Amino acid sequence: MRYSVKKLAKMAGVSVRTLHLYDEIGLLKPAIRTEAKYRMYEEKELLRLQQILFYKELDFPLQEISRLLDSPDFDLLTALESHKKALQARQTRIDTLLTTIDKTMVKLKKGIMSKHEELYEGLSEETAESYRKGALEKYGVEAIEVAENYLLSLKKLDFEALKQESTQITLTLVGLQSSEPTSKEVQEQIARHYQVIRRFWGTSDSANLQKEAYKGLGDLYVNDERFTTVDGQPNPSFAQFMQKAMAYFADTQLG
């Protein structure tokens, strides 16, 4: 079967001008020329064009392609196996790049954080590391990784909203510290505090109500002034108030 230059160009996805160029430089000659000087190609030329396009895809210059194809040692099957391996390697690299691009686009579109340091943004590096170290010692690596992985999955705006909600609850409780820790209005805010803490821990959907962990957090407030600092100053009385209010909530509401 014979193919005109126009038909071959369409089949191979190249331009007619490209096939004319290949003919002019001796890279791909037509099988025959008709009396009207039309170029006609047969199966042999189709296979050679396939090799040319494979080598071009692998960034070989035309002169080098011509040398390879015209070499006495050239073997079509060996060449195809070589092309396959090279293209598979390129595909792996491209797949990796595409995955990287997708991840980057998701982070840019959703504003998702990428590392745990972002969870302590606004604190000095020393303070942030101190907070994290204290949490690791208190709750263990597994619990902290669960919490950090959950927080890192949030959009930055959602994380900032969570921090703002926590701050607002704390300030409300500071204003209530002259009240009884067991009073209704205090316990209403402690319930909000408990829910926010569960979100920070990444366990808000867990069936485990974490009664002891929440009471333990109240103890931590008393034992470590960093966690109940108000306006940059330690506030031991507020820490004791929170410990009592949280323990009462845990004992009466968490079973």
Pick the more confident residue, 113 or 12: 12
For residue range 197-210, list pLDDT tens digits in order.
888 888 888 888 98
Q: CA–CA distance from 86 to each of 5, 55, 80, 94, 193 (Å)?
A: 29, 10, 10, 12, 58
The CA distance from 114 to 122, in Å, is 16
Domain extent listing, the chain: 3-107, 116-253
pLDDT at residue number 8:
94
The amino acid that residue 174 corresponds to is V
Tokens linked to 110: 């959703």
Whether the model clears a pTM of 0.85, i.e. scores above it, the answer is no
Cα torsion 198, 203, 205, 210: sign: negative
Q: Which fold has domain 3-107?
A: Multidrug-efflux Transporter Regulator; Chain: A; Domain 2 (1.10.1660)
**How far is residue 106's CA from residue 112's CA, in Å, rounded to a whole number?**
8
Residues 45-101 pLDDT 10s: 999 999 999 998 888 899 989 999 999 988 988 888 888 888 888 888 788 777 766
The closest alpha carbon to 193, from 220, 224, 214, belongs to 214
